[in-house]
């Protein structure tokens, strides 16, 4: 995945530095951990932000945003969100549901006729030809919002990786419409498996609103919340502020290279195409934390936000995402050994997390090792931003854990 839009330059050293913004003595442990992550070459740069209903309580920016120019990380550094885009797309769909223009248990084909006759991948013939059969059930809107539709991602699917190679079907990250010809891997509603469902939701939002996602997000989410540095189409000035992307080498070092989502896409990728800044993304998270509103602007009703944070997959459980493409992602399970569920569209830990979050918290991440969580019990939200592959990088995950532990400890001593 991303092979068509990702190229790597020669090795260059990650430059250590620190530029903490707005931290205080009670969060010194976070500062120390993140600064240590830079000096130890775990990351070239990292930003963490956190808030409670009273406002932003922590902002820390460390290291370099641009390793070539030496530009420091700041709260307005631009990051490619990848799957942290999904929270915007879910919010857009829930706005249409609030308006009665979409219903969770409708057939998705009501809004997207191309979903009327989905095909299920039923293995491969001896000669390698894919075997397809008609699905026995209809795909519901709910299935798309909860990753129970049957659609998968090749990064975490050996079968879909093989299908892409055999058929020359492009990966979804190329932002080419032909990627939507992907088959299902199981019957809708049968199990949870992460995939391109939210890209279909993006198509649904466009069909119902008669607007592109770029315009819909801007008018209904970004502008109301003051998010001036978020979108799919990146401007020249914003491009100058993009954090350098790195690949983790086998020796543990960092190899910088260019990264940009397609800027002349055939479709806007509701599952992973957007960029934002830590300051902007925190405004969005604060709105969710506050029940759908920030600074007098309401993007969702409180009861809608509450529903998004509740289990929507019944007796099913979120499963480990086993890597089929290790250069892009390690196998991923945020809560190994614990059952976790899925809302609209968030991971929900059913037991207290190991680093402080309450049972019932929601969270998710982006492929380039950005992460967020929102704790509706202790009323706190936090996010950490880097631009590193492969996903679920052990060193970044350790920094994320240190950030979460330091945040809860600092809040306890407030």
Q: Clarify whether 276 is annotated catalytic.
A: no
Burial of 81-120, coded b for 16+ CB within 10 Å and e otherwise, reads bbbbbbbbbbbbbbbbbeeeebebeebbebbbeebeebbb
Q: If DSSP codes are grouped into helix, strand and coil, which group holds residue 365?
A: strand
Task: Quote the DSSP letter at residue 289.
Answer: H
Residue of 23, 83, 329, 361 marked active site: 83
Helix axes 28-39, 394-412, angle to 10 degrees: 160
Half-sphere exposure of 302 (CA within 13 A, CB side): 3
The answer to whether 102 and 93 have CB atoms below 8 angstroms apart is yes
Q: Clarify whether 111 is annotated catalytic.
A: no
Token pair 């099913």 is at which residue?
316
The answer to whether 108 and 102 have CB atoms below 8 angstroms apart is no
Residue of 86, 149, 151, 371 marked active site: 86
Pick from 155, 80, 196: nearest CA to 392? 155
Residue 20, H or E segment: strand 18-20
Pick from 355, 356, 338, 201: nearest CA to 347? 338
d(CA 144, CA 305): 18
d(CA 271, CA 388): 18
Residue 38, H or E segment: helix 28-39
Residue of 111, 194, 281, 371 marked active site: 194
Half-sphere exposure of 192 (CA within 13 A, CB side): 22
The token pair at 387 is: 């631009």
Q: Which residues are catalytic, by number?
A: 83, 86, 194
């Amino acid at each position: 995945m991303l092979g068509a839009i990702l190229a790597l330059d020669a090795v260059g050293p990650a430059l250590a530095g620190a530029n903490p913004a707005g931290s205080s003595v009670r969060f010194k442990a976070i500062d120390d951990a993140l600064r240590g992550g830079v000096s130890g070459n775990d990351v070239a740069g990292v930003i963490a932000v956190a808030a409670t209903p009273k406002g932003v309580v922590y902002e820390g920016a460390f290291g370099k945003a641009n390793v070539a120019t030496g530009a420091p990380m700041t709260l307005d550094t631009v990051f490619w969100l990848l799957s942290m885009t999904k929270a915007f797309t879910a919010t857009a769909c829930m706005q249409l549901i609030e308006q009665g223009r979409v219903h969770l248990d409708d057939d998705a084909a009501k809004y997207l006729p191309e979903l009327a006759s989905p095909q299920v991948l039923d293995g491969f013939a001896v000669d390698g030809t894919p075997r397809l059969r008609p699905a026995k059930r209809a795909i519901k809107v709910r299935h798309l919002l909860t990753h129970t539709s049957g659609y998968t991602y090749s990064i975490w699917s050996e079968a879909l990786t093989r299908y892409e190679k055999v058929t020359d079907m492009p990966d979804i990250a190329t932002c080419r419409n032909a990627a939507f010809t992907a088959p299902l891997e199981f019957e809708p509603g049968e199990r949870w498996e992460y995939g391109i469902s939210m890209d279909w939701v993006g198509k649904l939002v466009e069909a119902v609103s008669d607007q592109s996602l770029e315009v819909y997000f801007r008018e209904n989410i970004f502008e109301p919340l003051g998010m001036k540095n978020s979108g799919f189409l990146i401007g020249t000035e914003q491009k100058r502020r993009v954090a350098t992307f790195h690949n983790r080498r086998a020796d543990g070092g960092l190899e910088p290279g260019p990264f940009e989502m397609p800027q002349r896409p055939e479709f806007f990728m509701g599952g992973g195409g957007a960029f934002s800044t830590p300051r902007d993304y925190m405004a969005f998270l604060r709105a969710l934390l506050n029940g759908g509103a920030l600074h007098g602007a309401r993007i969702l009703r409180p009861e809608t936000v509450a529903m998004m944070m509740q289990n929507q997959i019944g007796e099913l459980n979120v499963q480990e995402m086993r890597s089929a493409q290790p250069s892009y992602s390690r196998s991923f399970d945020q809560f190994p050994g614990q059952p976790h569920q899925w809302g609209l569209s968030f991971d929900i830990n059913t037991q207290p997390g190991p680093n402080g979050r309450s049972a019932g918290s929601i969270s998710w991440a982006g492929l380039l090792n950005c992460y967020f969580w929102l704790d509706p019990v202790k009323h706190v939200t936090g996010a950490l931003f880097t631009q590193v592959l492969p996903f679920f990088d052990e060193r970044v995950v350790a920094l994320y854990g240190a950030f979460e532990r330091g945040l809860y400890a600092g809040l306890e001593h407030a």
